[in-house]
Structure 1
Amino acid sequence: MQTAHEELPKPVLIGRSSSHFTRVTRIFAAEMRIDYSFRVVRDLMSSAPEDYGGNPALRIPTLQTPRGIWFGALNICRELWRQSSHRPRVVWPEDLDEPLLANAQELVLQAMATEVTLIMSKAAGVNDTNAHHAKMRKGLVNMMSWLEENARPALAALPPHRDLSYLEVTLFCLVTHLEFRDVLPTAPYSELNKFCQQFATRASIGETPFRFDT
């Protein structure tokens, strides 16, 4: 039995340093000041749930804690917030009760998921002329155009007395990941790039760069 003075084991985050969904959780961990161990998923073509920390969806990230296992970025970020001793003021997706903000969050997450599908399809040898692949890419371009047009008013509509929002973290990870993985050039998106430059001044961003795990 664990005594009161014994420390609980550190949470274990399972993912990849090149993953935007994983980076979302790493930014939150840094912002929440949560120490954790990081386990890299080496083979994303693996069909074994244990390689993904027990996630039956065969996806990353996963967080293993003394309370149990958490699947997915949003679940993980909520648990990191609950574990935080200083509990910063976070704006969560359910707090976005106006169409502009709610749609912005929805499209950011849809774009992130679409990007993953495009990357994995390419790795599997799917041809760019495949009709479904072409539709996904068109959808991604449409979503990025919408976000470029609406980013400024959406971000301005966020509650001013916040320390962080899930929308800002996911938007930053999406835009910077597109360029990192050479999925879509981001130079045309001036408003989104301006936001990323400002958001990148946070210490948590410098602590969690995208890179390919070796």
Structure 2
Amino acid sequence: MTQLQIVGRRSSHFTRLTRLFAEELGIAYEIVPIFDMTERAPQIYADNPALKLPILRAGEEVVFGTENICRALADRAGAADEIVWPERLRGTLSRNAQELVWHCMTAQVQIVFGTVVSKLPSDNVYFEKARQGFEGALAWLDAHVAEALEALPANRRLSLFEASLFCMIDHLHFRKTVPVEQYASLQSFVRAFGERPSAQRTPYQFDVPPASGR
């Protein structure tokens, strides 16, 4: 089997989602860190022209984007039919739940990159609206997560919804962008999902560049 590389950051919830899928599917991989997200050279991002992470690299083949990578890993493991993908969600509530998870993940990147990395004013309406929408989505998910999980097929191996929800909520403990402790249903879900070996083998951490030689 060609050695797989996931190019990304151990501190990224998008990267963690792909790593979690690899662990769940028993696929060996190497993590190739992107140390500085202000870099604008495409080669830093495995030639992804969008300058985004994560990227899956298998020899000469590269796959851009979190969901694309998860699907490629499932195909490689011959397990695509065992995963509940977004198109298999039935009912408006389930589909809305997945949409709001993606929204929260994107909003957190928007806030962190804008206010922490780029040092832009956090009271700008761009970030204030992002926070308000983020908190509104979290409250909605907290109120409906039990129903969304109940609607998933009982015989699933994994669903993209629960894996992405876990990565998103757990990341809010690692990167305290907006408060999350008050959402009891989401906290209960994270504690339960966090018992999975795949979750325990992919903790968030900051990638430290190797010391430069003198």
TM-score, length-scaled by structure 2:
0.93
How far apart, in 1, do the equivalents of 2:36 and 2:194 lie? 29
Is residue 148–residue 190 contact of structure 1 (8 Å, CA) maintained in 2? yes
Match of 1:111 among 104, 108, 112: 104
Amino acid paired to 2:121: N
Matched, 1:31 2:24: yes
Moved more, 58-67 or 131-140: 58-67
For residue 205 of structure 2, give the secondary structure of its aligned residue in structure 1: coil
**1:149 matches 2:143:** yes
Whether the aligned pair in 2 keeps the contact of 1:32 and 1:88 (CA below 8 Å) is no
Cα deviation for residue 97 of structure 1 reads 2.9
1:188 is paired with a residue whose SS is coil
Aligned twin of 2:171:
177
Change (3 A) 1:86 1:149: closer
TM-superposition CA deviations, 1:65-110 (whole Å, max 9, x none) = 1472110110000010111156671100111131010000000001
Structural mapping, 1:47-196, within 5 Å: 47-66=40-59, 68-84=61-77, 89-122=82-115, 123-196=117-190
Matched, 1:44 2:42: no
**For 2:48 and 2:112, how far apart are their aligned partners in 1?**
20
Q: Percent identity?
A: 38
Equivalent pair of 1:13/1:39 in contact (CA under 8 Å):
yes
The match for 2:15 is: 22
Aligned residues of 2:71 and 2:80 also touching (Cα < 8 A): no
Query: RMSD of aligned C-alpha atoms?
Result: 1.2
Alpha carbons 1:17, 1:210 under 8 Å: kept:
yes
Aligned residues: 207
Q: Secondary structure at the match of 1:14?
A: strand
SS in 1 for 2:31: strand
Q: SS of 1:213's equivalent?
A: coil
Give the Cα–Cα distance (whole angstroms) in 2 for the partners of residues 64 and 80 of structure 1.
11
Distance 1:33 1:87, change over 3 A: farther
Show structure 1 runs of 4+ deviating over 3 A.
85-88
2: CA distance, partners of 1:209 / 1:150: 26
In structure 1, how many angstroms separate the alpha carbons of the residues matched to 2:26 and 2:139? 34
Deviation string 1:82-139 (CA, Å, 9 cap, x unpaired) is 1115667110011113101000000000110010010000121111210111111101
Q: Cα distance, 1:39 vs. partner? A: 0.5
Q: Distance in 2 between matches of 1:87 and 1:207?
A: 22
